[in-house]
């Protein structure tokens, strides 16, 4: 609804849902309820959109909103609006077409062909000597609700933070763990733990990366050089606040 003008000022627009609730429960309750629902939808949309992006990135499928397949375009459009069980059914359908379609007749025949030939199904990443190169992928984790996939990881976030702190101490570093910037990667069963300079909190570090904490407890520093390291494939990164 277009905002109404009163006294020369444009007023906040009122949705139909808010008007109905206002009649039933009062204007303040209606406004709070609708605001909560709107924010919940945005939060849910960002989470689901992030899941689609992780799937697309791992398998080299391109940007989700550029997919030629109409079913994935529909997922992009309704990502925040469908009920949870509908969303899970849709993601499970995507999973079957990617993981189980060995005859090449699914949505992504090139992925099925690579899998059938025993080739890596991940999109190519820069070659390096990091331990993550040899980690077995947990593909099912990409298609689970993020909170479920994270809860199935070998190491908890608290354990990962402890390991990262020990890594910094062993290196004789003056840096400290940035507890506001910790990302799980259920796909590779590892944690990315950022660190910061306590004397300059919030400022980016020159050449800095993350401390990688593997499921077996090993730790190492992820370099900040060019390329796309494997450790980031499938990582549950902070949500895109610009998503609408």
pLDDT tens for each residue of the chain, 244 residues long: 333 333 444 344 445 555 554 555 555 544 555 565 567 677 788 888 888 889 888 888 776 655 555 656 666 666 767 778 888 888 888 888 777 765 555 667 777 777 777 777 887 665 556 677 788 899 999 999 999 999 999 999 999 999 999 999 999 988 889 888 899 999 999 999 999 888 766 665 655 578 999 999 999 988 755 567 889 999 998 866 554 5
Q: Which two tokens stand for residue 132?
A: 């993550």
**Which ranges of the chain would DSSP assign to H, the alpha helix?**
16-25, 27-58, 70-78, 84-95, 109-116, 140-143, 146-151, 157-170
User: Which one, of 167, 149, 146, 151, lies nearest residue 212 by Cα?
Assistant: 167
Using CA atoms, how far apart are residues 68 and 61, in angstroms rounded to an integer? Answer: 10
Using CA atoms, how far apart are residues 242 and 231, in angstroms rounded to an integer? Answer: 24
């Amino acid at each position: 609804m277009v905002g109404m003008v009163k006294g020369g000022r444009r007023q906040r627009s009122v949705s139909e849902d808010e008007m109905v609730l206002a009649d039933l429960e009062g204007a303040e309750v209606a406004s709070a309820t609708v605001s909560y629902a709107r924010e919940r939808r945005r939060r849910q949309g960002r989470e689901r959109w992030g899941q689609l992006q992780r799937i697309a990135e791992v398998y080299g499928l391109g940007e989700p909103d550029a997919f030629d397949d109409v079913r994935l375009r529909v997922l992009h459009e309704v990502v925040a609006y469908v009920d949870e069980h509908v969303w899970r059914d849709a993601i499970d359908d995507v999973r079957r077409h990617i993981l189980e379609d060995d005859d090449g007749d699914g949505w992504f025949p090139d992925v099925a062909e690579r899998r059938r030939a025993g080739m890596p199904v991940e999109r190519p990443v820069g070659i390096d000597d990091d331990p993550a190169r040899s980690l077995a992928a947990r593909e099912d984790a990409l298609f689970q609700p993020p909170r479920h996939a994270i809860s199935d990881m070998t190491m908890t976030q608290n354990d990962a933070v402890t390991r990262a702190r020990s890594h910094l101490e062993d290196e004789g570093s003056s840096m400290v763990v940035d507890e506001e910037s910790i990302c799980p990667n259920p796909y590779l069963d590892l944690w990315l733990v950022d660190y910061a300079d306590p004397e300059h909190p919030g400022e980016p570090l020159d050449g800095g990366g993350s401390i990688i904490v593997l499921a077996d407890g090993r730790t190492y520093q992820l370099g900040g050089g060019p390329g796309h390291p494997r450790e980031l494939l499938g990582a549950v990164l902070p949500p895109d606040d610009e998503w609408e």
